[in-house]
Amino acid sequence: MPRSAETGKGKPYLVGMSRAELAHWLEMLGESPQAAWLRARQLFHWLYARGASTPAAMTSLPKDLRRVIEENADVARPGIVAEQTAADGTRKWLLRLRDGKEVETVFIPEDDRAALCVSTQVGCSLSCKFCHTGTMRLARNLTAGEILAQILVVRDVLGDWPSPREGRRLTNVVIMGMGEPLLNYREVAAAFRIVIDGEGIGISRRRITLSTSGVVPRIEPWGRELGTGLAISLHAVRDDLRDELVPINRKWPIAELLDACRRYPVRRPVTFEYVMLRGVNDSDADARELVRLLRGLAAKVNLIPFNSWPGAPFRCSTPERIRSFASIVEAAGYPSPVRSPRGRDILAACGQLKTALARPVPTAVPPADAAVREPSPAPLSV
């Protein structure tokens, strides 16, 4: 039975299923192939375009079918454990999943757009030195349903259903929360096929950005398949320093990472995230080396003043240092906005996410529905 992952009830979780998976599930319940496809399309619309969170709300489905769904499946949202709103309007929710694990998702409203920063793993295995999430261990990958549920929950809270798409408040998604998305490729890709589907969540791929710390072999496949914008957590311009700050660099060093960016098949500038750490990576020489590395790439550099967290081993660069660094990068033709930290007061800013789940946790648990997904890219050891 597809998508029984982490329901805690033994029932399949329909959120996260594609049309084909929904049709397969309906056929297993006794629908003819033709009827299953028709109903799967309706179900898909109710789940993702209309945001139905109970079978009873799916009023265009026959009553009998709604009862069958009620008895045999789960479409409920994860529970909201906590919600915080920062002085600048940034909102952060802690969601409890069916197995009791928790993830954070962050809503960042701006003047002309509003982005949701979604998580893709519970914890993270990569231990980037400046990142609070990196001090947690990896508990497990999120399923496609758990990734999508973050968007659905936030649309519920914002009252973002079923207004016309152009009027929706949540306009953009950044895949930049807890976890390294390209180490959970299959589930993240399954979720985002539904996000970009015009009959699904319906957010254009142009309004979605995937942020990776540098899982090089999966960057180009993601671009070919999902076609979203790309952001790279760079943070250092020398391998010896990046090996320390972003340890995945030991496996895929800067030159290989930049080659992958040059091959990225989406014609949009690549965004490079660069956290400003006082006396560590913020010299004028670092800025000049960054310019040299980016030569020939359509790129933009986001300079992120370091967002501290309890026990953090770094301090933020001074404003003068950040200005000097930015002016060198700008002078070379690369936009380099200094990102004003959002939600700092509620630990919702970049690199600050961490749930109470700091206690020891088991190592990665694959989703129980692994058999119904397309094959994953070859396993990577990092």
Interface residues with ligand SF4 (CB under 6 A) are 124, 126-128, 131, 133-134, 178-180, 213, 233
Q: Please, what is the minimum distance in Å from the beta carbon of residue 307 to ligand SF4?
A: 12
- Please say which residue, 75 or 353, places its beta carbon nearer to ligand SF4: 353
Q: Please, what is the minimum distance in Å from the beta carbon of residue 235 to ligand SF4?
A: 9
Catalytic-labelled residue, pool 31, 102, 104, 187 = 104
Give the position of tokens 């961490």. Answer: 354
Closest CA to 371 of 88, 14, 21: 21
Phi then psi dihedrals of residue 262, to 5 deg: -65, -30
Cβ-proximal residue to ligand SF4, closest one: 134
CA-to-CA distance for 124 and 126, rounded, in angstroms? 6
Concerning whether 104 is annotated as a catalytic residue, the answer is yes
CB 188 within 8 A of CB 181: yes
Residue-by-residue DSSP string for 118-138: E--EES-SS--TT-SGGGSPP
- Please say which residue, 127 or 283, places its beta carbon nearer to ligand SF4: 127
Catalytic-labelled residue, pool 117, 124, 131, 350 = 350
Q: Please, what is the minimum distance in Å from the beta carbon of residue 273 to ligand SF4?
A: 9
| Residue 22: C-alpha distances to residues 47, 50, 58, 358 (Å) | 11, 16, 15, 36
Q: Please, what is the minimum distance in Å from the beta carbon of residue 255 to ligand SF4?
A: 20
Phi then psi dihedrals of residue 280, to 5 deg: -110, -55
- Please say which residue, 131 or 148, places its beta carbon nearer to ligand SF4: 131
Quickly count: other Cβ atoms within 10 Å of residue 196's Cβ: 19
Q: Cite the DSSP H helix spans in the chain.
A: 19-28, 33-44, 63-72, 144-158, 185-196, 219-226, 239-245, 254-263, 284-294, 319-331
Beta bridge partners of 140: 122
- Please say which residue, 46 or 309, places its beta carbon nearer to ligand SF4: 309
- Please say which residue, 235 or 373, places its beta carbon nearer to ligand SF4: 235
Concerning whether 316 is annotated as a catalytic residue, the answer is no
Residue type, 69: I
Q: Please, what is the minimum distance in Å from the beta carbon of residue 124 to ligand SF4?
A: 3
Which are the catalytic amino acids?
Answer: 104, 350
